[in-house]
Amino acid sequence: MGRAMRSFGLLAVVAAAAAGASCGDAIRQGRSPGILVVNGMQAATGDKPTTFTSNLISDVVNMVRTPAPCSDTNPCSVVYNDLGQATLSLVMKDIAVAPTSNNNVTVTRYRVVYTRADGRNTPGVDVPFAIDGAATALIPADGSTVIVGFDLVRNTAKEEAPLVQLINGSNILSVIATVTFYGKDIVGNDVSASGQIQITFANFFG
């Protein structure tokens, strides 16, 4: 009898642990039946805002020669923001469940965090400060893709440390930008997804 009671108690502990792990997974995955997916990410420099590439080569300052008073002999320095675009879609957690319009997701904001491969990641010292911004897009539950545009690097970041120190030197700073998009499905469940893109900063033409 005592052995049976001990076995029952052990099974109860195991069951409780399994239930706790399942609950943790559910919390991490969110309550929405759909999963937001970042299918791809590209970037474009501010002086060529329609030319998107898989990695960003970002000039911390640009010398322009038009319009006047800028000229070939007296170019003007301009600081551009850099643009990003992400291709988003939605998939169902249970592929056996047919999606409905209630599963559509509206993305409303994003956050960009910059990190370095060497682990030196103090904002404003080693990497630019993280940024938050608004980006509104409806992601349908039928699996079709939607391109969402956003600011990947703000021009103000190029006027602050550590990027401003690159203007008068030959140093190069490489970072990984992690972009996370946040939204809700139609019934109010929170949804998010992240993607990454590499950025190389320097004064390339100074």
Shared-domain flag, residues 94 and 183: yes
> Is 11 found in the same domain as 96?
no
Q: Cα–Cα distance between 59 and 177 in angstroms, integer?
A: 16
Burial (CB count within 10 angstroms: exposed 0-12, middle 13-18, buried 19+), residue 185: buried
Say if residue 11 is in the same domain as residue 111. no
My answer on whether 25 and 46 are in the same domain is: no
Confidence label for 206 from pLDDT (cuts 50, 70 and 90): low
Instruction: Check residues 54 and 18 and name the one with the higher pLDDT.
Output: 54
Q: What angle do CA 182, 38, 190 make, to 5 degrees?
A: 25
**Shortest CA distance to 81 belongs to which of 137, 150, 175, 129?**
150
pLDDT for 26:
37
Tell me, what CATH number does 156's domain have?
Answer: 2.70.50
How many structural domains compose the chain?
A: 2
Residues 22 and 43 both lie in one domain: no
The answer on 4 and 106 residing in a single domain is: no
Reported as a single tens digit per residue, the pLDDT across 94-147 is 988 899 999 999 999 999 999 999 999 999 999 999 999 999 999 999 999 999
What token pair was written down for 105? 């997701």
Same domain, 116 and 26: no
Same domain, yes or no: 193 and 96: yes
Same domain, 6 and 91: no
Q: Residue 54 belongs to what domain range?
A: 31-202
pTM of the model: 0.83
Residue 40: helix, strand or coil by DSSP?
strand
User: pLDDT tens digit string along 140-168?
Assistant: 999 999 999 999 999 999 999 999 999 99
Let me know whether 16 and 71 are in one domain.
Answer: no
Residues pairing with 40 in the sheet: 87
